[in-house]
Structure 1
Amino acid sequence: MSANDPKQRLTQHQQITTTRPQPTTKKPQLATLRRLPYNPTMPTPPQPAEQDPRVYFAAERTFLAWIRTGLGLMGIGFAVSRFGLFLRQISAVESHLPARTTGLSLWSGVLLVALGVIVNLSAVYRHVQLIQELSSGTWRPGRVSRDAVVLGLLLAAAGVAMAIYLMLVR
């Protein structure tokens, strides 16, 4: 073929666009694949839960949420307990008589503080247990949190008791 041959004059772009790759039956090697940029929405390759750091981060977030719940219960319990004292002081100042008290706010406040302490201790115990299960590979997903169910039922019962109390004491 000579230099004036029209096939040799084709530019590289024309050669690329006019030639079609032949279908191959071989799968590409991993070394020949191009590395894609990081995309947080792209699914990660599956790996066991005990090796996935996201599982440990989720466990820590759950632990901190339980601690926050326990601290909230203790704070509300303290406020309820002190609010009864505040009401007794106000009534004593206005009437100059000793205030009649049932002590309900004191005991309900103490119970809420105690419930907050129990929630925090339970959170610590459950977190240590979960990390040990993850490390040993005995963790089973999909279990119902017994602690959450018990706390929910106790708080629901406390709410019903307070609603009944507020209806009776007008």
Structure 2
Amino acid sequence: MNTTQSPDPGLPEELASSIQGKDSGTASTLLSTHRTKLSIKRTGLADLRSHLANERTHLAYLRTSISLIGFGITINRFSLFLQEHGKLASDQTGPMLRSSEHAGAGMVIIGLALIAWSLYRYWHVNRDIEQAIFRPLHRAVIMLTVLLILAGGFTSAWLFLQQ
């Protein structure tokens, strides 16, 4: 008589023996692979969770965009405040980066571009969920991240170097 008990009585003996003694991560992966092989049809609950996660991600993009736009407007208004109080020259001529108003406008433009990106990403992921495929956009995510790091770092350094 077999005294070892499988983790789930409904599991095939071969799967139960391959899971036994494994760490939880490996066991979860093996169970997940087994369930995927068994269920060719996706469940409505899994689709619902995927769509809701996609929507939460889209809303996070929107919150970030609104923050960037608000911060850009704040920078713009603060530069006008400094000009009115004589702390910043209002007739600065020369390169575009001479006025902090342009930094504020740049933040607003980045926020608007992020809104456009979030809509594209939402549609792309929604289509992938419907077609039961996933194609990550590694290059686009890396390029967007590097662009935001450079723009944010450059703007921050420029703002702190202003006198």
Q: Under TM normalisation by the shorter chain, which class is it?
A: 0.5 to 0.7
Task: Return the TM-score normalized by structure 1.
Answer: 0.58
Return the match for 1:78 from 73, 76, 79.
Answer: 73
**CA offsets 1:115-145 (integer angstroms, 9 cap, x no match):** 10110111011101211121122324xx355
Conservation of the 8 A alpha-carbon contact between 2:103 and 2:155 = no
Return the match for 1:112 from 107, 115, 121.
Answer: 107
Deviates more, 1:150-159 or 1:78-87: 150-159
Q: Confirm whether residue 150 of structure 1 aligns to residue 143 of structure 2.
A: yes
Q: Rg bigger for which structure?
A: 1
Question: What secondary structure does 2:134 align onto?
Answer: coil
Q: Distance in 2 between matches of 1:50 and 1:154?
A: 39
Return the match for 1:159 from 137, 152, 155.
Answer: 152
What is the deviation of 1:147? 5.0
Q: Distance in 2 between matches of 1:145 and 1:49?
A: 26
Compared CA separation, residues 86 and 167, structure 1 to 2 (3 A): closer
Q: Where do 4+ consecutive residues of structure 1 move more than 6 Å?
A: none
Which residue number corresponds to residue 139 of structure 1?
Answer: 134
Q: Distance in 2 between matches of 1:80 and 1:167?
A: 13
Q: Distance in 2 between matches of 1:89 and 1:114?
A: 25
Q: Which runs of 5+ in 1 are unaligned?
A: 1-26, 29-42, 93-97
How many corresponding residue pairs?
Answer: 123
Compared CA separation, residues 50 and 78, structure 1 to 2 (3 A): farther
Q: Which runs of 5+ in 2 are unaligned?
A: 1-8, 11-30
**CA offsets 1:19-58 (integer angstroms, 9 cap, x no match):** xxxxxxxx89xxxxxxxxxxxxxx9976666841211111
Percent identity, please: 27
Cα RMSD, aligned residues only: 3.1
